[in-house]
Each structure stands twice: as structure tokens, then as C-alpha cells.
Amino acid sequence: MADPPRPEVKIDPKAASTVQVNHVDRQSPTPFGTGPVAADPFKKPGREGLNSWVVALIIKPNLDAALAAIRAAGGIATSSGGIRDLSAGVDNTRSATSFHYTGRAIDLYMYSGMFDPTTDPYVVTGDPDVGTWRVFARTADPNVTPSTLIAQQMVRIKTPVDKDGNPIAGKDFCKLKEVEVTDRFFDLTAVFLANSFKRIPAKPAFMDDPKARQYGAAEWWHFQDETGLVVGTTTYGSLLQQVRTAGELKNSSPFAAKDKIWNGQIFR
């Protein structure tokens, strides 16, 4: 089981920001009704993605198809993981009814885009004050005509401190700047949409203060499969029960939301 969207981060108290953003893979053992899907390697100094996602088997065919299309177009698919451990807490970067708890969401590696648009495998475009992103993937395919994009790039800011002056561990704060980038790209968001994976907007923790955005709430990396959900009928608990035993769910925080109903956007 996993809590992959949270990288292992180390804070240098003398530095202005987080200095290490490598993941530790916690995606084993896997719950029933789930399985691993291989991701593409991504490793650069201080940045390293996971080698797989663990997802609900019900979405695996759609994910396989999306990944096949991405790779056929000359792109790569990086990972920050899939299913989230039931014990993972909720805060302003995590929803209590996240699709991650159900195994129906994946995250691209959250530092493989919006970090260095001139070299990253992904370029993230969109309006940060609205928080709706479109992600483009680089390709070496010579048949793709180069194009110019206005990319969003994170610029880390000084790590906030607590009342005792200690850095707030695990937090990664930034502001954004626009960077013009020319290269060969294809629309990664469109590929995911064509294979039943929808994007989600950034959370308020990212949008509320443009001078101190919490990067973990940006969510450009998140895609979720809503196949089979019926507005006004599907409950959050019914999705959890597809990948978790009754014993695992008992007394867990996500299962406390079991009666919330899908309204087409969120469970309420």
C-alpha cells in the first residue's frame, strides 16, 4: 500500500528551500483488486520518480492504453504513485475523498514538470489563479513540428518557519514565473482525456497566495478515471470496497466518508 504523492523531503535549515525531492516506494504489498503498472525511469540530481503505479484493476486497461499512446508518441510516463494508504492523513494538499484512496488516480512524478521547462519531460501551461492545467510532453519524433509554449515554472521561496524558528518539514513553497519554451511537444492532457483520465484543478493552498504557493497542492500531475461513476448514485464507500477489505476499512478516515455521493465533480 502506498502514499506516493508525498516525496521524501529533507530540509536544509541554512538554505532557502527544500533540497531533496526523492520518493521512497511504499507500494508493496498491494491491496486486493489492484496491481502494478510500470512507469518510465526519471532520475536527475535531487529528483527521482517511482518505477510504477499501483492502481485498481478496473482502471488498468485505460491506463495501459494511455501509456501506450504516450510512448508511441515519443514521450515518457513518470510516476509519483497511485493508490494511497488509508492511514495517510488529510490536510490542505489532500482531499478526504481523494480518488487515490480508491486506486483510481495516478500522479505523474510531481517534479518532472514545472521544475525546469527547458529540459523537463513535461511542460505545464495554464492560469495559476484558476488552477486548471494543460500538460504537454516532449518528444524526439522528427515528424512533430516544433511549437512555442508559455510554461509555468516554480521558483522555490524561503521555507516558512514555525513559532520557534524551525523550518516547516515536508512543505515546499514557491511562486511561479512564465517561461517561453520552443521544442517538439504533444498534448499529454488530451491523451489522458481520450483514455478516460480527467485532470483536476489546483487546491486553494496553491492558489490563495501567489507569493507563497504550496507546491504539493498544484495537482498538475494528477489524473483520475471516473469510468462507471453515476451522478447522484455512486458512493465513495462503494469505490473503497472494490480495493479494500472490511477489516482494512473499519475505523479508517476515508471510510468515514463512505456515504458521500458523486455529484459529477466531487463526493458530497
What would the pLDDT profile of 83-136 be if each residue is shown by its tens digit?
999 988 777 678 889 999 999 999 999 999 999 999 999 999 999 989 999 999
Q: Are residues 123 and 135 in contact, defined by beta-carbon separation less than 8 angstroms? A: yes
Strand order in the sheet with 185-187: 122-127, 132-138, 185-187
Task: Write down the pLDDT at residue 11.
Answer: 34
Tell me phi and psi for residue 181, to 5 degrees: -130, 130
Report the C-alpha gap between 186 and 55 in whole angstroms: 25
**What contacts 171, CB < 8 A, 6 or more positions away?**
18, 159, 160, 214, 216
Model pTM score: 0.87
Least confident of 8-12, 42-46, 173-177, 256-260: 8-12
Ranges of each domain in the chain: 8-257
Task: Write down the pLDDT at residue 160.
Answer: 75
Q: What band does 176 get if pLDDT is binned at 50, 70 and 90?
A: very high
Percent of the chain predicted with pLDDT > 90: 76
Residue 173 has pLDDT above 80, yes or no: yes
Task: Write down the pLDDT at residue 159.
Answer: 80
CA 28, 33, 38, 41 torsion: positive or negative? negative
CA distances (Å), origin 193, targets 49, 199, 208, 240:
23, 8, 27, 23
Task: Output 21 or 182, whichever has higher pLDDT.
Answer: 182
pLDDT digits (tens, 9 = 90+) for 202-248: 999 999 999 999 999 999 999 999 999 999 999 999 999 999 999 99
pLDDT digits (tens, 9 = 90+) for 22-38: 666 554 346 788 999 99
Look-up: residue for cell 516525496? 7
Task: Write down the pLDDT at residue 23.
Answer: 66
Residue-averaged pLDDT of the chain: 88
Residues across the chain: 268
Report the C-alpha gap between 97 and 254 in whole angstroms: 6
Task: Output 52 or 96, whichever has higher pLDDT.
Answer: 52
Report the C-alpha gap between 182 and 96 in whole angstroms: 39
Percent of the chain predicted with pLDDT > 70: 88
Tell me phi and psi for residue 49, to 5 degrees: -85, 180
Look-up: residue for cell 522528427? 142
**What is the phi-psi region of residue 248: left when phi exceeds 0, alpha when psi lies from -120 to 50, beta otherwise?**
alpha
In this prediction, residues 63-85 reach a mean pLDDT of 97
